[in-house]
Copies of this chain bind each other. A is one copy, B any other.
Amino acid sequence: MRHARLPASEEIAIEDVFHALSDPFRLDVVRRLAVEGEASCQALEGDRPKSSVSHHFRVLREAGLIRTRNEGATRMNALRREDIERRFPGLLSCVLSARND
Protein backbone atom coordinates (compact mmCIF):
# COMPACT_ATOMS: atom_id res chain seq x y z
CA MET A 1 0.00 0.00 0.00
CA ARG A 2 1.30 3.40 -0.98
CA HIS A 3 2.01 5.91 1.69
CA ALA A 4 -0.84 8.34 2.08
CA ARG A 5 0.44 11.89 1.93
CA LEU A 6 -0.08 13.43 5.31
CA PRO A 7 1.04 17.02 5.70
CA ALA A 8 2.84 18.02 8.87
CA SER A 9 1.01 20.48 11.05
CA GLU A 10 3.00 23.41 9.69
CA GLU A 11 2.31 22.37 6.14
CA ILE A 12 -1.44 22.37 6.40
CA ALA A 13 -2.76 24.91 3.91
CA ILE A 14 -5.86 26.87 4.77
CA GLU A 15 -7.13 26.71 1.19
CA ASP A 16 -6.96 22.93 1.23
CA VAL A 17 -8.75 22.82 4.54
CA PHE A 18 -11.51 25.05 3.26
CA HIS A 19 -11.84 23.06 0.09
CA ALA A 20 -12.06 19.84 2.06
CA LEU A 21 -14.76 21.29 4.29
CA SER A 22 -16.80 22.73 1.43
CA ASP A 23 -18.31 19.33 0.69
CA PRO A 24 -21.32 18.34 2.81
CA PHE A 25 -20.30 14.72 3.13
CA ARG A 26 -16.78 15.57 4.21
CA LEU A 27 -17.97 18.22 6.62
CA ASP A 28 -20.28 15.67 8.12
CA VAL A 29 -17.47 13.17 8.47
CA VAL A 30 -15.38 15.73 10.32
CA ARG A 31 -18.21 16.52 12.67
CA ARG A 32 -18.94 12.92 13.40
CA LEU A 33 -15.29 12.15 13.99
CA ALA A 34 -15.25 15.01 16.45
CA VAL A 35 -18.02 13.30 18.38
CA GLU A 36 -17.13 9.66 17.94
CA GLY A 37 -13.40 10.06 18.31
CA GLU A 38 -12.35 7.35 15.91
CA ALA A 39 -14.29 5.55 13.25
CA SER A 40 -13.83 3.25 10.30
CA CYS A 41 -14.66 4.47 6.83
CA GLN A 42 -17.67 2.27 6.51
CA ALA A 43 -19.06 3.41 9.83
CA LEU A 44 -19.37 6.84 8.27
CA GLU A 45 -20.23 6.02 4.72
CA GLY A 46 -23.68 7.17 3.86
CA ASP A 47 -24.90 4.61 1.43
CA ARG A 48 -22.48 5.49 -1.31
CA PRO A 49 -20.00 3.27 -3.12
CA LYS A 50 -16.79 2.66 -1.31
CA SER A 51 -14.64 4.15 -4.01
CA SER A 52 -16.45 7.42 -3.45
CA VAL A 53 -16.08 7.19 0.30
CA SER A 54 -12.43 6.41 -0.10
CA HIS A 55 -11.98 9.44 -2.32
CA HIS A 56 -13.46 11.78 0.28
CA PHE A 57 -11.37 10.35 3.06
CA ARG A 58 -8.34 10.88 0.93
CA VAL A 59 -9.21 14.53 0.41
CA LEU A 60 -9.59 14.97 4.15
CA ARG A 61 -6.31 13.18 4.76
CA GLU A 62 -4.35 15.18 2.22
CA ALA A 63 -5.78 18.42 3.52
CA GLY A 64 -4.38 17.46 6.92
CA LEU A 65 -7.70 17.14 8.70
CA ILE A 66 -7.66 13.48 9.56
CA ARG A 67 -5.19 10.75 10.29
CA THR A 68 -5.72 7.10 9.47
CA ARG A 69 -4.21 4.14 11.24
CA ASN A 70 -4.49 0.48 10.50
CA GLU A 71 -6.40 -1.59 12.98
CA GLY A 72 -6.21 -5.06 11.68
CA ALA A 73 -8.13 -5.24 8.46
CA THR A 74 -9.93 -1.97 8.97
CA ARG A 75 -8.64 1.58 8.97
CA MET A 76 -9.53 3.87 11.80
CA ASN A 77 -9.84 7.57 11.13
CA ALA A 78 -9.46 10.38 13.61
CA LEU A 79 -9.48 14.12 13.54
CA ARG A 80 -6.04 15.72 13.90
CA ARG A 81 -7.34 18.01 16.61
CA GLU A 82 -4.09 19.21 18.13
CA ASP A 83 -2.35 19.67 14.79
CA ILE A 84 -5.21 21.70 13.39
CA GLU A 85 -5.51 23.72 16.55
CA ARG A 86 -1.82 24.53 16.54
CA ARG A 87 -1.85 25.55 12.91
CA PHE A 88 -5.14 27.43 12.86
CA PRO A 89 -6.22 28.24 16.39
CA GLY A 90 -9.97 28.38 16.80
CA LEU A 91 -10.84 26.98 13.40
CA LEU A 92 -11.97 23.60 14.53
CA SER A 93 -14.17 24.72 17.37
CA CYS A 94 -15.70 27.23 15.04
CA VAL A 95 -16.40 24.57 12.42
CA LEU A 96 -17.87 22.23 15.00
CA SER A 97 -20.15 24.76 16.57
CA ALA A 98 -21.36 26.17 13.27
CA ARG A 99 -24.86 24.93 12.72
CA ASN A 100 -26.58 24.91 9.40
CA ASP A 101 -30.16 24.47 10.40
Footprint of B on A, CB under 8 Å?
13-16, 18-19, 21-24, 27, 87-91, 93-95, 97-98, 100
Contacts and interface: CB of A to CB of B under 8 A. Distances in A.
Nearest to A10: B101
A95 B89 CA distance: 10
B91 A94 contact: yes
Contacts of A100: 13-15
B18 A24 contact: no
A86 B21 CA distance: 20
A99 to B, nearest CB: 9
Contacts of A18: 18-19, 21-22, 27
Given A88-B94, A94-B91, A98-B88, A22 B27 contact: no
